[in-house]
Chain A
Amino acid sequence: MTRAVFAALLSHWKRNPLQLFTLLAGLALATALWSGVQAINSEAKASYNAAAATLGEGTFDQLIRRDGQPMAQDTYVALRRAGWLVSPVIEGRLDGVRIVGLDPLTSFGGLGPVQVAQGADIAGFLTAPGQAFGHQDALDALPPGIAKVVAPDVAPGTVIMDIGAAQRLLDRQGQIDRLIVGPVQPIRQAPLDTIAPLLSRQIAHTGSDIGRLTDSFHLNLTAFGLLSFAVGIFIVNGAIGLAFEQRRPVVRTLRALGVPLRRLMALMAAELAIMALVAGGIGVALGYVIASLLLPDVAATLQGLYGATVAGTLQLRPSWWLSGLGIALGGTAMAAAAAFWRLARLPLLAGGSPRALSMAAGRSAQVQGLIALALLALAAALGLTAQGLIAGFALLGTMLIGAALALPLILDRVLALAERLATGVRAQWFWADTRQQLPGLSLALAALLLAMAANVGVSTMVSSFRLTFTGFLDQRLASELYVTAEDPAQAAQIIAYVTPRTRAVLPIASAPVQIAGLPAEVFGTRDDATYRDNWRFLQTAEGAWDAVFDGDALFINEQLSRRSGLTLGDTVPLDGRDFRVAGIYGDYGNPIGQAIIAEPAFTTLFPEIEPLRFGLRLPATDVPALVTDMERDLNLPPSATINQAGIKQFSLDIFDRTFTVTTALNILTLAVAGFAILMSLLTLAALRVPQLAPAWAMGFTRRELGRLELIRAVLLATLTATIALPLGLALAWALLAIVNVAAFGWRLPMYVFPLDYLKLGGFALIAATLAALWPAWRLSRTPPSDLLKVFSNER
């Protein structure tokens, strides 16, 4: 019996291939976007983890020299012999490749994902010439001599080798950059300051944790993926709902023939599960294609923005297949839940007559309106009070779902108004007919609404970030040229050389400190108009700059303020000296706390730190000549000077890459929404014939009917886009003011970009028009005999 029932159920799809296609394609697209974004995110995160594991960053405490200089190898041995279980690391760059040298005998578990092949030759790793582990391209950049072993787990652009080999390769014999402190130490050890007074201990999970830094970027991607998925599920929900309605007679017949409801439902569920798996499989494969197309840009963005290296190529991870198929199954279950619920409660012989989807929708309009209202009210309440990540996401969710539910009702009211205002029979018929069609299209329009709103929201956020960040760069990179010296002697030489040719030479010196128990760096700043003129503060006290340069106040960044709770007027002790907080400034992209004090105060507190970096103020036109002269006369390498214009251009390039990714996702989500509209219109087309036949009989030409059909789609899309704009702005606000603050500790000011929105609206209209084109064309070509049949046959 099971087989016969199954065959009967499946025959529906044979008769309605378009519905089957809608269902599979919607699900596949939803899965594709979701799993593509997940793939990008997980690839990036795997890269960070590899980097962190390589270096023990974020996992272990580290000892470094206070002045940032390398330490002598003897310091390492002295610490070991004083009972400190520390492991040495040397790090450097050679032809663009990051060389990491470590000692495998003392390094701690989980450190250095070096793939040693079975039966590897440890002696080969430890003794000259040594072995280097890394990606092929990184290995290729190494000079010959050292043995090269391909190891995919090593962070991209990095090679790992024995510390001895690394010292030799970097020509830094006897030097160590940092010591990783083992998680377990013996019962006694000599105090650090008696053994190695130059070293300071950096607590784990501080500044260098790239993962935290890039979370904002990944959050954007995830939001995109989730919204695309929601849009796809709307399509699937529509397709399943329609299929179940149309199959009511079949269900009634089967049940009348004695098939138990339970078995029938089980078979229908199995049918859907198979489709979900097929569509999910296609979706994951598509997602892989999307991810591999976007990944190079994402990798470039992350590298440029945060210095996080991400492999530009995708590795196929089994976890995606599982999560992709899982999400397809889950999405189908979500989309089909309502249909199953209705089926389960259906009386045995009821529902034989086919009903348009619209009637069911119309009856529940009131309920839907109430739910939408409740959700939007909740969103408003959350918007006023929400703090924290969970509340932020709850706000996003209630807002979007509430708006999607409210959309058909709002459109209905607008159309009713238009109908009342319309003069002439044709116009009135047009509005009434549009209203009548609305329930059938409402799911597709809700998908369009979500896609539009997501695009407006995310692009507002990204663009706001770009504006803020470039403004911030202007403030921070006020000097026209930056020079880095190798040692104090060279620094003095540079100062003497450039002073006659510049308006000001501004030293940049910093020291790692603890402020309110949090790791932070403090900068010494010279009293110069450069700072007074360019710096913008989030909050500032009266006469702040004077107070700072008097030596009894400091500025802190927003992150430090939010994390430590320090506000204007609070006192911060630094090495036994008290400073008052005189200002709080935005410091985007910096993961750790920062404070600024006057240069004399800095010199008193940290006499051992001599500035090696300098900002030079001079007319921008003089910069190239000065750089050339310095390189010639002082024998400076090109890397020692950084042209401000160059940095800014670099940053803008990065943002343009970010936009490539954002734009690509924008277009994809809009395409999905357009697809939803196309499918809805095609599905409705068959149902529409009886409604259109009388209009045709009364004198509308088929061509005219087709044109009106097209106008209707564009009109509905325009209305939807109009509603999507405020929703998208609200979304952007929630992302910037609540989610960002909770996730990263800084609030970005929101900017609006009307031209961008106009362009987006244009895209949405194009999508809707393209979607409506074919159904309208088909309508205009409906054979008159089909229209006539309506009158001869009461169906």
Chain B
Amino acid sequence: MNVKTILLCLVPVFAQAQGFAGLGSGADGFAIPQPDPQFSFPADHGAHPDFRIEWWYLTANLKDADGTDYGLQWTLFRSAMAPQTQEGWDDPQLWMGHAAVTTPDDHFVTERLARGGIGQAGVVADPFAAWIDDWRFDGIDVGTLSATGPDFGYDMQLTASGPFVRQGKKGYSVKSASGQASYYYSQPFYDIAGTLHLPQGEIAVTGTAWLDREWSSQPLSGDQTGWDWFSLSFDDGARMMGFRLRQTDGADYTSATWIAPDGTPTPYEDGSLRATPLEVSQVAGRDMPTRWRLELPAQGVDVTVQAINTQAWMTTSVPYWEGPVTIDGTQSGTGYLEMTGYE
């Protein structure tokens, strides 16, 4: 064993951040999300070190001049070993970055890990700046975003064209029947433009991006094995977020938020959303659903969600599936799909 093993030992820390199964550990000393939160911006764009896990999760659907679809991911995870923060190596806050670009034929992934307390990674609320190594996300209403990997990179500009949207009950997003919950808000209305640096060259792209902000201390209950999460941007300007948490007994816990074009959210509780796999693909030696039927009858939604590249496998220390999708049916548009916990 070597340092890689240490990294494997870190996996639980970050797997938790990814909301994976088997992590129904106690919240020892960490703050627990409470119903009816009062978010305060810009402060809440920053880190919440008294919670165990937190993320700044941006995905984008992009097109180049030829109309080719691309997906882009920029994610910063924070995982705390203790509910505090301090200067230097003893800071218990650990950071992990994931960046990816998906094309119809390729999927580029890279990962960074960093210690808090020494300036290598962190988030400042105002003016907003989130970084790990040379990856940056600066400015939250109008901003820039960049990341590099061994074989790819990107430089993007972001402009929010709508308000922040609270998910769940005013930002309190329940994740299980037994009450596990997180604080969760999104910015689903980014216009994004910039350059992808890919092995085939520089590609100018434009599109829409979606930022998820979520923090908690114990996101899943012990019997939940993974999740399927959808963020959909419809061509008519409406947005929809939905997820399905899979349980060991085969049952699901679902949740959805309908977001009107003006940003007004309508939350839906367990059972309102139906997510049905239509087609599976072999991904990294396992079967994963890459074509879905998604129904939210309360909003008359019955759409088919199809992965642009079925092989959008994130070969990070905690592997998962994350990639762009196209939407057809009662609505059309593009979006992002994330699937975790498939063995």
Contact = CB atoms under 8 A, between A and B. Distances in A.
Do the two shown chains form a genuine complex with each other?
Answer: yes
Interface of A: 53, 73-74, 76-77, 80-83, 85, 102-116, 120, 122-123, 125-128, 153, 162-165, 167, 173, 184-189
Interface string B119-156: 11000000000010110000000000000111111000
Contact of B114 (A80, A83, A110, A165): A80
B150 A186 contact: yes
B72 to A, nearest CB: 15
A108 B4 CA distance: 8
Interface in B140-181: 148-153
Contact of B153 (A73, A104, A167, A188): A188
A111 B13 CA distance: 21
Contacts of B6: 104, 112, 114, 116, 120, 122, 125
Given A105-B115, A173-B88, A123 B150 contact: no
Given A73-B118, A106-B114, 5 more contacts: A74-B119, A77-B120, A110-B4, A111-B2, A187-B152
Contacts of B2: 53, 109-114
A123 B82 CA distance: 9
Contacts of B113: 105-106
B90 A77 contact: no
B134 A81 contact: yes
Contacts of B5: 114, 116
B94 interface: yes
A146 to B, nearest CB: 13
B19 interface: no
Nearest to B4: A109
B159 to A, nearest CB: 25
Main SS at interface, chain A:
loop
A173 B117 CA distance: 13
Given A103-B115, A106-B113, A114-B1, A185 B89 contact: no
B9 A127 contact: no
User: Which of B2, B131, B151, B152 is the most central at the interface, judged by chain A CB atoms within 10 Å of its CB?
Assistant: B2
B134 A82 contact: yes
Interface string B199-221: 00000000000000000000000
Contacts of A173: 88
B120 A80 contact: yes
A164 B3 contact: no
A189 B149 CA distance: 11
13 contacts: A81-B120, A82-B134, A109-B3, A109-B4, A113-B1, A114-B1, A116-B5, A122-B9, A126-B94, A153-B1, A162-B89, A187-B151, A187-B152
B63 interface: no
Contacts of B94: 105, 126
B7 interface: yes
A103 B131 CA distance: 19
A104 B134 contact: no
A661 to B, nearest CB: 32
B318 interface: no
B27 interface: no
Nearest to B131: A81
A80 B3 contact: no
A115 B1 contact: yes
Contacts of A189: 134
Contacts of B131: 81
Given A80-B134, A105-B94, A187 B150 contact: yes
B134 A83 contact: yes
Contacts of B120: 76-77, 80-81
B92 to A, nearest CB: 6
B149 A186 contact: yes
Contacts of B153: 186-188
Given A111-B2, A127-B81, A104 B92 contact: no
A247 B139 CA distance: 95
A67 B279 CA distance: 62
Nearest to A104: B6
B280 interface: no
Contacts of B293: none
B82 A105 contact: no
Nearest to B96: A105
Nearest to B151: A187
B260 interface: no
A53 B1 CA distance: 12
B90 A187 contact: no
Contact of B92 (A53, A127, A163): A127
Nearest to B149: A186
B89 A163 contact: yes
A289 B90 CA distance: 47
Interface in B264-293: none
Contacts of A127: 81-82, 90, 92
A153 B5 CA distance: 14
A164 B134 contact: no
A112 B5 CA distance: 10
A126 B81 contact: yes
Contacts of B9: 116, 120, 122
Contacts of A106: 113-114
Contact of B3 (A76, A107, A184): A107
A187 B134 contact: no
Contact of A114 (B3, B81, B92): B3
B115 A83 contact: no
Nearest to A77: B119
A110 to B, nearest CB: 6
Contacts of B13: 122-123
A464 to B, nearest CB: 41
A167 B89 contact: yes
A183 to B, nearest CB: 10
Interface string B32-46: 000000000000000
A179 to B, nearest CB: 13
Interface in B13-31: 13
Contacts of B3: 102, 104, 107-112, 114
Contact of B89 (A82, A120, A164): A164
B125 to A, nearest CB: 19
A187 B152 CA distance: 7
Contacts of A102: 3
Interface in B87-105: 88-90, 92, 94
A391 to B, nearest CB: 39
Contacts of B151: 187
A104 B1 contact: no
A527 to B, nearest CB: 47
B197 to A, nearest CB: 6
A102 B7 CA distance: 13
B133 A81 contact: yes
Interface string B247-273: 000000000000000000000000000
A187 B197 contact: yes
Given A81-B133, A104-B7, A105-B10, A188 B92 contact: no
B281 to A, nearest CB: 28
A165 B197 CA distance: 39
Q: Closest 10 A-B residue pairs measured CB to CB?
A: A164-B89, A186-B148, A83-B134, A123-B81, A105-B113, A104-B6, A122-B9, A77-B119, A184-B150, A80-B133
Given A104-B6, A106-B114, A128-B90, A83 B1 contact: no
A113 B4 CA distance: 9
Contact of A126 (B110, B115, B119): B115
A690 B150 CA distance: 85
B137 to A, nearest CB: 14
Contacts of A126: 81, 89, 92, 94, 115
A113 B133 CA distance: 25
A114 B8 CA distance: 13
Contacts of A73: 118
Contacts of A114: 1-3, 5-6
Nearest to B90: A128
Contacts of B115: 103, 105, 126
Contacts of B89: 103, 126, 162-165, 167
Contacts of A122: 6, 9-10, 13, 81
